[in-house]
Every structure is written in structure tokens, then in C-alpha cells.
Chain A
Amino acid sequence: MPTIDVNKKEFLKHLKSSGLTMEKALLLIKGEIKGEDELFLKIDIADTNRPDLFTLEGIARQLLSFSQKKHFTSDFLHKQPGYKLEILPSVEKVRPFAGAFLAHGCTLNEDGLDSLIRIQEKLGDTIGRRRRKVGIGIYDATTIKFPVRYGAFSPESHQFTPLGSETEMTLEEILKRHPKGVEYGNTLLGAAKYPLFIDAEDKILSFPPIINSKRTGEVKVGMDYLFIEATGTEQKAVILSLNVLAAALSFRGAMIERIEASYPYQTPVGRSQPVPAQLMSKPLMLRVAEAKKMLGIEIDAEEISDALLRFGYEFEKSGDTFKILAPYYRSDVMHQYDVIEDLALARGYDNFSPLSLSDFTIGNILPEEEAADRVGNIFVGMGFQEIISNMLVNTSFSSHCMLEKEYPYVEVENVMSESYSGVRHWLIPSLLKVEMESSSTPYPHRIFEVGEVVIRETRGKSNHDSIRTGLSNGVNEEIHIAALLSGPGITFNDAHRALRSLMEELSIPYELREINHNSFIKGRCGAIEIAGSKKGIIGEIFPEVLSRWSIKMPVSVFEITQPPALLKRHKGTKAQRHRGTEAQRNKS
């Protein structure tokens, strides 16, 4: 969520004139104060979909409009644009959307300029996605001759002196050497031509979204006529950014003059788009009955009208329906429910009395969780301590330590830290990690874990059931049960004793079949077979494996890969249980 710095002095002035308490104000803007210094308050804005609140002006407007139903003009939206922004065909494949407007009559003081720069940066970072989707430029309009053109040109065709430089540079040089070029160059990755704003006298205004020219693009205190443009890859976001900026400047008293962007190609909103502009193509219908139903309250047209005014909506009431236009600087109003939330905010959540659910429903716990619980309690009875490990592990280290022949790990592509490079596919390494870190705890150690694992099938098919749609991609998710014993004198037999008792308690007959596995001592390792198929492994850990984990005690383990569904199916009759035990006795 965005954190914004607002000028403390200005904010407190507006808060005071709104008459709201700080707490109420923060509720209204879904904000939380994260910190402050002498000059600024740091506010986290939870609503990532309300960029108008990423500005001091937007916050102040919301507070004043809410508390005093103060009306802020948007008359300029209905005026014919006086100037044109001509968009050339060459940008269609590079950065196809642009818009611009003029602001005058509001002399920039230091606070105003600082705020404007902050808005430009914040919008570029957030809805602009670090200028990729939208980048914004601000200019001294007195130096510009209209109409302004927006086109794309080959990297070496033009040169100009960018802000922050004393000499002329080509576009290619700017991307390579200018700090902003280095920082934002990736927004133009792969483009054969680079965009430029050029005025009627062929003077370069800027190389968007990288850097302005020094001549027109240096904004200073005392200026009162500004040209503001935005370019990007999404038209709605471009318009929204300019709307938010226009609203902020208008709040500071500026006159906003629209500029018409004319396109040589078709865009989602046609070939001509004046900015700022209302984003909703048609009004939204709010039904009073729907508001009542959603909020569970009695609310009349009067209260609704009042709330709509406080949130700056334009509306028309006809019967039981309100025809609504959201303020031009808001794009989050997509559905009548977005308006209904504002009705709830206007009333305040404190004024809603909670209401008990009346539907009768039967609760349950997943059978596998019940089974896991049962297994856990059996282990506790056998003196084992339960472990809960992270599911993300250091896959290559784990594989190396275990001397694994196969590599069934699901790994992540964007690794943050090698310690968490992928998901575990069995539990024994997690338990060995516990051993590695617990040599100072008195022995013997008896530990177990019941937990999820993810196995990438390197051969064969996945067995995902069909309710988990869309994953027949060779990834299996299972719940495993693993136990580990370590200490002086611990052998295979100790692990087998625990396995035997566990299985008897669960009434699951099993057999062991000798197998070889790199992680275990040869001749002391077996497959746990249930109803004739392999459902786990048991064995004494091979000393080389212990050494790789830096473990200095003998360790024996077992892991059951038995899906919990089977645990249930075998929940057994006495006869079954008896037979299982007999089978074991006969074998040994």
C-alpha cells in the first residue's frame, strides 16, 4: 500500500477547517499514520484504488467535502479544449497513449511546488507502475508554442539538453548515461523508436517518460502557467493520472484548461480525447433497495443524497434509483456496491449494530486434519515432540545432504534467498535440520512432523483429483507423516518399534520390503508397504548424510506417504488389527 508524505502544516490547517477529528479523518481516507517528522506526516493509504488520496490536496478535498459538503468545481470538464496535442502514428507501437492540460492562475509557492513534484513521483510509482504504465511531465507553459506533437523517433535522430545536464545528448546517450535514463530506461525496453514531445517551433519539450528538457521542463517557484502531460501504455490510467493532477491543482486555485489529444489511430475512447475528462462513459445506477439489502439498514433517499454529496458524486434521483457519476478523479467506482460502501462510511461503521447469523449450518473438520490430529496424539503418547517446519527449504542443499538421486522439488523462479528456494517434497530433511540445530538438547531426541509436501513428478502422472481443477501438470500435494529418533545407541529397531506401534494403533497392517536408498545404510532401509504398494520408507541414516548435515549422533527415521484417506479406510475392525499384528510376528 502506498505511503505518502503530506505537508504537516497544510494538512493540519485543512483538518482544522474540516472540523473533523484526526481519527475520523483517517477512517474516511482509509489511512494510518506511520510516522512524522518536523515537516511531514507519513500516511499509509490502504485503498490502492484511490490515487486521488495519494495527494495532500485529494485528502484535504475529501475531508472538506465530507464535513461541509463543500463543492469543488469541475466546470472545466465541460469546456471546449482550446489547444491540441497531436499524436503521431509512430508512437502507436511504442507508447500509444498521451494526454495533457494547462493550469494557470495559481502561482506556485514552495509548498505547492513540493506537493506537485510529490504527486508526479507518487503517481508515476503507483498507478504508473514505475512510469511503465504512466509517466508524467510538468513544464513551464510560457515557453511552449502550441500545438504540441507527441511522436516517436529513431534513437540518434534528435538531441537536446536534458534536465540535470549541461550538454546536449542524443536519446540513446540519455538512456545510457543520464541517471533518469538508467533508472527508467526499461520502460522503453525493446522499442526501436523513442517518444518525444515537440512543440510547434520544433523545440523538444521532453523524452517521456524519462526526462524533460532543461529549457522548458524546469519548474520553479513563482511560475503560474503550467503544461502537464502524461504518456503511457494504458489510456484509462493516463487520463486518471491527469485527472488527479488537475484536481490537485484546481484545489490550490488553478484554472484548468483542457487540451484535446487527437489520435491518428483508434483508441478505446475514440480518436479524440480531451483531458481532464470524466472516466465513466455512462452513469451508474444505484438502487435504494440494493443499498438497504447490502447494508442491512433502513436508509432513505435523503440520507443517500446527503452521503453522495459528501463524497463528491454527481447524481440525479429518479424514483427508487439514483443515476450517479463518480467524481472525475476517481476510477474505483465500478459497481453500485462501491457507492454503497461510501454510504456506509458516511453513516460510520460504529452506527451499524451487529446482527446474528440465523442460518443453521453444520460444521466439520477435514478428515485429513482429524487424522493428523490423531496421529499427533499417538506420537505424543510414544514420547515424541511435534515439529512444524517451514515448507520452503534450501532445495539444492537438502538434495546434496540427502544424496538424492532424483530431484522432485518444485522450485521458485524468483528466489529471494537460497535458504528458501523451493518446496519440500518429503519431511525427513526437515527433521534432520532440527537435529542439525539441536545438538545441545539432551538426547535421545524423538521428534515427528505431520505436514504437507509438494512433489514434482519427474516421471509418470499426477494424481490430483478432479475437484482440484487444473493441476494435471505433474505436481502432487500430499500430507506425510515422519518421525526421527536420535541419540547414543539409537538404531533401525527404535524407528521400527515406533512405526509398529503407530500402525497398530491406527489399525493399518503393513510390511517392510528391503530396498536401497542413498540416504540410508544399506541393509537397514525398507519400503513401508500397505496393501501391497509402497507408502513410505524407514531406515537408519547413512553416516555420509549425517556428516553433511553436521549431525554427530546415530539417527533412524521413517516417513509415511500414506494419503490420509487411506488412514480412514483402514480404521479398523479388531480382526484386521489382529491379522496385521500376526503378520508382523510371523515375519520377525
Chain B
Amino acid sequence: MDVKKIGAKLSSRESLLLKNLPKSSFSETEVTSPGKLSSGEITGTLGWLKTKDLIKEEKEVRRTLVSITDRGKELLEKGMPELKIMDLLRQGKMDIGRLSHLVNIQKEELNPILSSMKKRNVISFGKGGIILKLEEKEEYEKTEGLLRKLRNSYLRVEDLSGEERKIVSMMSRKRGKEKEIFRVREEVVRHYRLTPQGAALQNYLLKEGIEETISALTAEMLENEFWRNRDFKEYNIKIIPPPQQMGRRHPYALFLSWIRRKLMAMGFKEMKGNIVEPEFWNNDALFMPQDHPAREMHDVYFVKEPKTATELPGDLVDRVAQTHINGWQTGSTGWGYKFDKERTRRLVLRSQGTAISARMLASKPEIPGKYFAIARCFRYDRVDATHAPDFYQIEGIVLSQDINLRHLLELLRLFALDIAGSEEIKFVPYYFPFTEPSIEVQFKHPRLGWMELGGAGMFRKEVTLPLGIDVPVIAWGLGLDRMAMVTLGIRDIRDLFTSDLGKIQRMKSK
């Protein structure tokens, strides 16, 4: 056994303590501190020596200790109220108000004291006040004595007299928890003995003296070459350190930027839209009739001030209005209702990313062209685990002379494969006011089963023609928040936007 090698792994505190340990069995409370070690540090260091097999634990002894509480100390300073009360009552009966004033104790606190005194027949409540019946100071004086005895230390219950034990148990029962004046607690004391290895190392250390091993290497040591011919303290490299404070991107931001890159790779250009939108772009241009339920107060946030957009492109509004009324030149019958042009200027908080696609169609897009947008949208909804006050949508369009439903299906298949990572998909007939045909895509999640990926369709002619586009347009929108929740393992949508830093730091990235 190479005691020297083991010695090199000891911290200076450990070797210091080891040198001081008695040869026979000892308890942790008996170890005297060689340096300025606190009792906690001694306990800890003994623990380390034990893990290194230098000492072994022989037994644990439980003992019950009594000490006094802050309240106890306070009583000691002010004196026992019972003794004061007896002193005061000796001069004659007294009402409780005056008594409270003279002993300087609030009535609520005084009452339980008085009633316990009455129970012991020390006082009685007579007409016109409280009367001292029996002078029985001894017990209270003894309590005071015990408090004094415990003022600066603690005692084992076994070392108390029977009478003292009675006082302790009575005084800790009699008053509420906060009012306790004694504290009784259990303590475990471990008893150790040096192992043969420990004894050998102790011998070695005592004989050879402690050669200073290098703990933390300093610049100074390098400068003066102090380290030469010295041993380094060997570290326990298995100890888990506290975590490093990190700078981190928000996992949702990473997810969004991952999606952006995916779409860019598919040839999509990113579009930008407005948060505050006139209803024209949010709804009218998308052929949503003006009394559509999704346009009402219960679905959309209306802006309080300013209420309306000052200018809209008049010719566009005319064409869209005509399309709603009678189909304009789109070949449609239109909705056939009275279109309110004023309504088009009403400002709302964007409720759907499709508004951005509508704007793009009206801005002379490239044909063939592919565009997408990641947009914060707002809906009038009660906020809960599945509804956030504002949330992300991803929207896109594909414009080309030669595209059809089958291209749309392929695009959705690609999204499912590339973004949701699923080869199993389902196309479900669906309805949106602005597309025909309309499709909902579902994909099979390995754990959660069939999930909605998003909606898509071919924009209606009633949408594209008034905005100046006469080629087929594929439109699609994928639900991002839901997918992000699945990807990031989040169950409550509010956690995506949480203000709890700890939660954000624990959120796993994709």
C-alpha cells in the first residue's frame, strides 16, 4: 500500500484532521479542531475521510438536545410574565386591561397565560378584576432557572433533572409553536475509528510531516517556478460541479430560424407584413364576407385608436368590393350582399398570416415565384394551455402558370417530410373562404398519432384576379406553435412565451 500516493490525494484540511484523530474510537463531536474548522466542516471532512476508507463508521448515537429559542431568550431578558403578574396582583386585584398595560403584553397574548394560571389555581377572575389566590412561584422560578442554564449552550435531555424535563415538556406543549421557549431536537452523532490504512497514513503523515501539495496553480507559482519538484493535489474529477451560466438562444427562436432556412432551401422568399392591418388586407381581399363570424368582435382584436387606415388603394378596393357583390370579372357569382367600403379601412390586429400573402399578390410578385412569412397573429381568445394571446403562423404562396392540385399535394408532402419528419400523411378535404379546393394536411407523429400540420389550397379566383394575379396560386399555412410544442416537448402553449427565466433555461432545443 502506497500511503504516500493516498496522501497526495488528500486536501490540506483532510490531512490536517487525519493527523489529529485519536487512535481509539471517537465521536464526531469529540474531534478537536486543529485549525479553525467549524463543527460542520469537521463533519464534512470526516465524511470525505470515510469515503477514502481512512476511517470507518462504528455506530450512530442518537441523542435528544434541549436548547432555548429566541423567544426563550427574550423571556430571560424581560422576566417571566407569570412572576411579574404575581408581583402585581400581590398589591391587590386588577382588571385585565391595566394588567396588560403594566406587564406590557398584548391582551391576546396575555389571555392564554392567565387562563393557564387560573387552571393551576394561582389566580381567579373575581368581580372587578383578577385576584391572586395562591403564591406558587417556585415552578416559574425553576423555568427561569432552566432558561438561564441553557442560555448559551444546549443540554442532553438525559442530563436534565426529572423536574426540569417536566418543565421542558410542559413549556413546549403549553404554548403555540411560535411561542415555544424551549426547542427539543434529535441529533445523530457518528462514531468512527481509524482503519488500518488510515492509521498507517496517519503514522506516515506524523513522521514525514506534511509536504505541501499544490492545490490551485497560480500565475505566481509559474513565475517563480514554485511548482517544480512538488506534487499536485489530485482532484476527484467525478464531482459534479454547479452548472455554467449560459448565453442561449430561445429554443423557439432556433426553431423558427430552422424553419426559415428550410423554406429558403426550397426556394421561398420571405415576406414581411404589418401587425396593425386594415380589414381590407386581413379579410376583404381574402374574399371573406363582411359578416363572416371570424371577422366579429369575438374573433378579432379591433384597434381602439386610430380606428381606421387613412388611405387604401382605391382601385383595388373597388375591384374587391365588386367581387364580393357580384363576382366582378372573376367568373364568380360573388356573395351577393351589400359591401361596406368604410369597413375595409377598419384597423385590426392581424388575425391571420394570409393577410401578408394578399399584400404580396398585390405587390407585383415574381411569376413563377414562391414566398413565405412567419407572422405573429392575434385572436380574441381566452388564454389557456392551447391558446396564446399572440402566436406565430407560417404562411406561403406559390405562383406559376403551370401549377395544379398535384403540385400542392407534393409541397405538403415535402413539408410533412422535411419539417414534421413524417412520411405518413393524410390529405383531408377542408374549407377556407379564400381557397378552393381546400385541404388540411395531417401527419402521423410516432408518439402522438395523427396531428394537424396545416391548411392549404388553391387561392380562389375571387382572391387573385382583383389583386392582379391571373395565374394559379397555391396557398398554404402551417401551425407553428403546435409543432414547436411537440418538437420542444412543451405541453402548455403559454410556456413558449413564458417570462420565467428558469423555465426558458430548462427548455430543450430541437
Q: Does A510 count as interface, using CB distance less than 8 angstroms?
A: no
Q: Does A350 contact B (CB under 8 A)?
A: yes
Given contacts A349-B439, A383-B246, A386-B250, contact A363 B389 (CB under 8 A): no
Q: Does B168 contact A (CB under 8 A)?
A: no
Interface flag for B40 (CB, 8 Å): no
B501 and A434 contacting across the interface, CB-CB below 8 Å = yes
Name the B residues within 8 Å of A573 (CB-CB).
none
Q: A10-45, CB under 8 A of B: which get 1 and which 0?
A: 000000000000000001101000000000000000
User: Chain B contacts of A456 at CB under 8 A?
Assistant: 305-306
In this assembly, does B409 line the interface, its C-beta being within 8 Å of a C-beta of chain A?
A: yes
Asked whether A388 lies within 8 Å of B253 as measured between CB atoms, the reply is yes
Contacts A46-B430, A376-B253, A470-B309; is A434 near B303 (CB within 8 Å)?
A: no
Binds B, one of A102-110, A163-171, A312-320, A446-454: A446-454
B407, A357: Cβ atoms closer than 8 Å: yes
B128 at the interface (CB under 8 A from A): no
Docked complex Cα distance between A413 and B280 (Å): 18
A448 to B310, CA, bound (A): 35
Asked if A452 and B366 sit within 8 Å, CB to CB, the answer is no
Interface centre among A49, A295, A387, A388 (most CB of B within 10 A): A388
Nearest-Cβ distance from residue B476 to partner chain A, whole angstroms: 12
Contacts A294-B472, A412-B302 hold; do A335 and B461 have CB atoms under 8 A apart?
yes
Contacts A337-B458, A344-B437, A366-B272 given: A383-B376 contact, CB under 8 Å? no
A129 touches B368 (CB 8 A): no
Whether B303 and A411, one on each chain, are in contact in the complex, defined by CB atoms closer than 8 angstroms, is: yes
A356 contacts the other chain (Cβ, under 8 Å)? yes
Write out the residue numbers on chain B whose beta carbons fall within 8 Å of the beta carbon of A433: 499
Q: Among B265, B334, B409, which residue has its beta carbon within 8 angstroms of that of A354?
A: B409
Q: Are B274 and A468 in contact (CB under 8 A)?
A: yes
Closest to B264 in A: A363
Contact residue among A48, A335, A471 (Cβ-Cβ distance under 8 Å from B460): A335
Whether the pair A362, B267 counts as a contact (CB closer than 8 A) is yes
Q: Which of A355, A390, A416 has the most CB of B within 10 A?
A: A390
Out of A295, A356, A361, A419, name the residue touching B369 (CB < 8 Å).
Answer: A361
Say whether A470 contacts B310, CB under 8 Å.
yes
Rounded to whole angstroms, the CA-CA distance of A355 and B369 in the bound complex is 17
CA distance A38 to B41 in the complex (A): 70
Q: Given A341-B436, A384-B247, A477-B276, do A412 and B332 touch, yes or no (CB 8 Å)?
A: no
Residue of A nearest to B270 (CB): A366
Closest B residue to A237 by beta carbon equals B337
A201 in the interface, Cβ–Cβ < 8 Å?
no
Interface residues of A in 25-76 (CB under 8 A from B): 27-28, 30, 46-50
Q: Which residues of B contact A566 (CB under 8 A)?
A: none
A472, B247: Cβ atoms closer than 8 Å? no
Q: Does B330 make an interface contact (CB < 8 A)? A: yes
| A338 vs B382: C-alpha distance when bound (angstroms) | 34
Interface-located stretch among A115-123, A397-405, A436-444: A436-444
Q: Is A480 located at the chain interface by the 8 A CB criterion?
A: no
Interface centre among B266, B388, B406, B412 (most CB of A within 10 A): B406
The verdict on B400 contacting chain A, using a C-beta distance below 8 Å, is yes
Q: Are A383 and B436 in contact (CB under 8 A)?
A: no
Bound-state Cα–Cα, A376 to B330, Å: 46
A470 B436 Cβ-Cβ under 8 A: no
Does A224 sit at the interface, judged by CB under 8 A? no
With an 8 A cutoff between CB atoms, is B227 at the interface?
no
CA distance A30 to B428 in the complex (A): 8
Interface residue? A280 (CB, 8 A): yes
| A560: chain B residues within 8 A (beta carbon) | none
User: Quick one: which of A338, A340, A423 has the most chain B CB within 10 A?
Assistant: A423
User: CB-CB < 8 A to B268: which residues of A?
Assistant: 361, 363
Complex CA distance for A389 and B497, rounded to whole angstroms: 5
Chain B residues lying within 8 Å of A336, measured Cβ to Cβ, are: 331
Report the Cα distance A129→B293, complex, angstroms: 8
State which of B247, B250, B304, B461 has its C-beta within 8 Å of the C-beta of A413: B304
Q: Which residues of B contact A390 (CB under 8 A)?
A: 388-390, 497
> Contacts A434-B501, A441-B505, A472-B310 given: A337-B304 contact, CB under 8 Å?
no
Closest chain A residue to B277, Cβ basis: A471
Question: B88 near A: Cβ within 8 Å?
Answer: no
Contacting residue for B501 out of A338, A417, A445, CB 8 A: A445
A410 and B301 CA atoms in complex are apart in Å by 11
Is B454 engaged at the interface, CB distance under 8 Å to the other chain?
no
CB distance from B106 to the nearest CB of A (A): 31
- Please, what's the 1-or-0 string for B263-291, where 1 marks a CB less than 8 Å from any CB in chain A? 11111111111111010110000000001
Q: Is B178 an interface residue, CB under 8 A from the partner?
A: no
User: Quick one: which of A234, A295, A334, A383 contacts B333, CB cutoff 8 A?
Assistant: A334
Name which residue of chain B comes closest to A384, CB basis. Answer: B247
Establish whether residues A354 and B429, one from each chain, have CB atoms under 8 Å apart when the complex forms.
no
Residue A489 at the B interface, CB < 8 A? no
Distance to closest chain A CB from B380 (angstroms): 5
**B261 within 8 A of partner (CB):** yes
Query: A49-B431, A349-B427, A355-B410 known; A411 and B304 CB under 8 Å?
Result: yes
- In chain A, positions 394-431 with a C-beta closer than 8 Å to chain B are 410-414, 416-417, 419-420, 422-423, 430
Check if B407 sits within 8 Å of A391, measured CB to CB. no
A438 touches B500 (CB 8 A): yes
A18, B198: Cα distance in complex, Å? 89
**What's the least CB distance linking B118 to chain A, in Å?**
47
- In the complex, A430→B274 CA distance in Å? 21
A296:B303 contact, CB within 8 angstroms:
no
Which residues in B have their C-beta under 8 angstroms from that of A381?
247
Judge if A373 is at the interface, Cβ distance under 8 Å: yes
The reply to whether B333 and A344 contact each other, CB–CB distance below 8 Å, is no
Given contacts A236-B336, A361-B369, whether A383 and B302 have CB atoms under 8 Å apart is: no
With A335-B436, A380-B247, A385-B248 as known contacts, state yes or no: A473 contacts B293, CB within 8 Å: no
* A270, CB-defined interface residue at 8 Å: no
Task: Compute how far the CA of A113 lies from the CA of B308 in the bound complex, rounded to whole angstroms.
Answer: 48
Whole-angstrom distance between the Cβ of B338 and the nearest chain A Cβ: 9
Tell me if A221 is interfacial: C-beta within 8 Å of chain B.
Answer: no
Known: A385-B246, A392-B389. A470 touches B272 (CB 8 A): no
**How many whole Å from B296's CB to the nearest CB in chain A?**
9
Instruction: Give 1 or 0 for each of B361-390: 1 = CB within 8 Å of chain A CB.
Output: 011001011100000101011110000111
Q: Are B334 and A334 in contact (CB under 8 A)?
A: yes
Q: Judging by beta carbons under 8 Å apart, are A442 and B245 in contact? A: yes
Beta-carbon contact of A352 and B497 below 8 Å: no
Q: Which of A30, A338, A357 has the most CB of B within 10 A?
A: A357
Once the chains bind, are B309 and A471 in contact (CB under 8 Å)? yes
Give every chain B residue within 8 A of A335 (Cβ-Cβ).
Answer: 327, 330-333, 436, 460-462
User: Taking the nearest CB of chain B, how far is it from the CB of A313, in angstroms?
Assistant: 15
Interface residues of A in 319-357 (CB under 8 A from B): 334-338, 340-341, 344-345, 349-350, 352-357
Checking B310, B359, B383, B409 against A417 with a beta-carbon cut-off of 8 angstroms, the contacting residue is: B383
Whether a CB of chain B sits under 8 angstroms from the CB of A133 is yes
Assess the A380–B249 pair: CB atoms within 8 A: yes
Q: Is residue A469 contacting chain B, with contact meaning CB distance below 8 A?
A: yes
B80 contacts the other chain (Cβ, under 8 Å)? no
Contacts from A to B (Cβ < 8 Å): 27-28, 30, 46-50, 126, 129, 133, 234, 236, 268, 280, 284, 293-297, 334-338, 340-341, 344-345, 349-350, 352-366, 368-369, 373, 376-377, 379-392, 410-414, 416-417, 419-420, 422-423, 430, 433-434, 436-438, 440-442, 444-447, 452, 454, 456, 467-475, 477
28 A-B pairs, CB-CB below 8 angstroms?
Answer: A28-B429, A49-B431, A236-B336, A297-B406, A335-B332, A335-B460, A340-B437, A344-B405, A354-B412, A357-B400, A359-B370, A363-B267, A366-B272, A380-B248, A385-B250, A392-B389, A412-B301, A414-B297, A414-B302, A414-B380, A419-B389, A438-B500, A438-B502, A452-B376, A456-B305, A470-B310, A470-B345, A473-B306
Q: A341-B429, A366-B271 are in contact. List 16 more A-B contacts (CB 8 A).
A: A49-B433, A236-B336, A296-B406, A364-B269, A365-B264, A365-B270, A368-B272, A376-B253, A380-B249, A383-B246, A388-B250, A389-B497, A411-B304, A419-B389, A442-B245, A469-B312
